[in-house]
Chain A
Amino acid sequence: MSKSIHDMGWDELVLGAAVHSFKEEIDYNPSQVLPENRDYAETNSKYKYVGDWRVFKPVWNTDLCIHCQFCWLYCPDTSILSREKKMIGFDYDHCKGCGICQEVCPTNPKSIIMFTEQTEEEEALNQWPEKKGSK
């Protein structure tokens, strides 16, 4: 796409509001290429910030995480960032704060906990709960 969609009139848009994921045709399997190396089109949701939809945000406790990848697997918005089967953080531009990552986290206490959006990360980590159960 040579021209930005923001400079287009009605006659230049793709009909039916179809949105192509990539700039050009691809001859590779995108699942084999890391997102940062994919040639996404301007209209890809990758470039659409929706982080402000969130009321609660997930916070990650690196001391407790066992890198089981459950959160990565279950996240409905591919907002868990993982490389070499290790969790590395969240994509806060696209996370909607649904809390599924907290729900599926198997550690005790949880390695991911939802806090209100305005809570600072350090403050959140200071409030982290103790291990539950067997004493």
Chain B
Amino acid sequence: MNSKIMELNKVEVWDGNMAATQAMRQADIDVVAAYPITPSTPVVENYATFHANGYIDGEFVMVESEHAAMSGCVGAAAAGGRVATATSSQGLALMVEVLYQASGMRLPMVLNIVNRALASPLNVNGDHSDLYLTRDSGWISLCTFSPQEVYDMNLCAFKIGEHMDVRLPVIVNQDGFLSSHTAQNIYPLQDKEACDFVGEYKPLNAMLDFSRPVTHGVQTEEDWHFEHKAKQHDALMNSTKVIAEVFAEFEKLSGRKYNFVESYKMEDAEIAIVVLGTTYESAQLAVDKMREEGIKAGVVAIRVFRPFPLKEVSDMLQNVKAVACMDRSAPGGSVGALYNEISGALFNSPARPLLSNIIYGLGGRDMTIGVLCDIYRDLDAEAKAGKLNGSIQRFVGVRGPELKYYKV
């Protein structure tokens, strides 16, 4: 634990960025190497302030780019320290090369991604194009829908990634501005409680262990590369066991329960949307409105994006007639990522709901409860008609003529 303790109130008013920083402070990190970028800047800024005020015993390294930030984290993790950083959008894009190094070298660390659109055109607001950019990077990827969850998932992230059966880096996603700059009531743990939960860092094959000199970041060709990627994938797939254990332990400590897939009123739902991020909370209000109109709506949100909870999400959608998979990212010439994942999850199950793909909210375009209600009404009409209304994919909330693709 850091030598200087910060007394916290039972309820604090923090935005998502401060929630991330407070969890990082409590986790007793050895090295944070970071380069600020909107909207994650305050994570780094707050951390630097805590460091300057003596609340952080570890090192804080200002580097010259995000590529250097992640490289610094990789170096410090290989040396045998607990490390973390934060970024968004273009910064994440510059980091991507090193993201693959971190996961391939099996170095636990925590990366807060405050989700923001990727240019061009340049845009600082929230969408999930950066989240999707990390899809195949081999990191565990956790999604949050509010500042409280950002705090909670950060503490869990260290514990999950550092577990000896996992040893993988972990991303904690939150929506730019909608979560990162929205102050809400947060129920934090006190420093000792949080630090004890995360636990002491256990190095593995540390470069600073002089009794066991080691080389990290080696070259393998066709002779060993495949085996190492297999081992890495196996660790990622089997991390579900540790994730479930950590979520259970956190529930005992905080009373807050987390699942691989979160849902609202899915028990008797006939139509559903599947979302990521803060849209989950808006959708719950839309679901309540729909229920007043007699439409049995529900919402499903992915908490653990990687490893993808294929079975859990499939189980949740077995009894619905129509599902809209909502992707907040330009799909780049195909259906959205979430549509692909959900289709894949359902294909080997008995359920055959009508499955559509909605592209929405790009560059921070607002997704209102009213628009969500319209989406539910459309889904309800499709469910009653027993077929999709003309196409698989459509854009919602964009000005101009209607955009629809993949006619059915």
A residues in contact (CB < 8 Å) with B: 5, 8-11, 13-22, 25-27, 30
Instruction: Please tell me if the beta carbons of A17 and B104 are within 8 angstroms of each other in the complex.
Output: yes
Q: Are A21 and B167 in contact (CB under 8 A)?
A: no
Number of A-B contacts (CB under 8 A): 65
Closest to B220 in A: A17
- Could you tell me if A9 and B214 are in contact, using CB atoms closer than 8 angstroms? no
Give CA–CA (A27, B209) in the complex, Å.
11
A17 touches B213 (CB 8 A): no
- Tell me, in angstroms, the Cα distance from A14 to B138 when the chains sit together: 17
Chain B, Cβ-Cβ closest to A19? B215
* Contacts A11-B231, A17-B104 supplied; 16 other A-B pairs, CB < 8 Å: A5-B224, A10-B234, A11-B234, A15-B231, A15-B235, A16-B104, A16-B106, A16-B205, A17-B105, A17-B224, A18-B105, A18-B205, A20-B213, A20-B214, A26-B213, A30-B213
Residues of B within 8 A of A (CB): 104-107, 167, 204-205, 211-216, 218, 220, 224, 226-228, 230-232, 234-235
Given known A-B contacts A13-B224, A25-B211, A18 and B231 have beta carbons under 8 A apart? no
Q: Is there an interface contact between B211 and A14, defined as CB atoms closer than 8 Å?
A: no
CA distance A22 to B210 in the complex (A): 11
Known: A16-B107, A17-B104, A19-B218. A9 touches B227 (CB 8 A): yes
Find chain B residues with CB under 8 A from A20 CB.
205, 212-215
Q: Verify B211–A18 contact, CB threshold 8 A.
A: no
In this complex, what residue of B is CB-closest to A5?
A: B224
Q: Taking the nearest CB of chain A, how far is it from the CB of B4, in angstroms?
A: 34
For residue B214, which residues in chain A have a CB less than 8 angstroms away from its CB?
A: 18-21
Chain A residues with CB below 8 A from B107, complex form: 16
Give the nearest-CB partner of B167 in chain A. A15
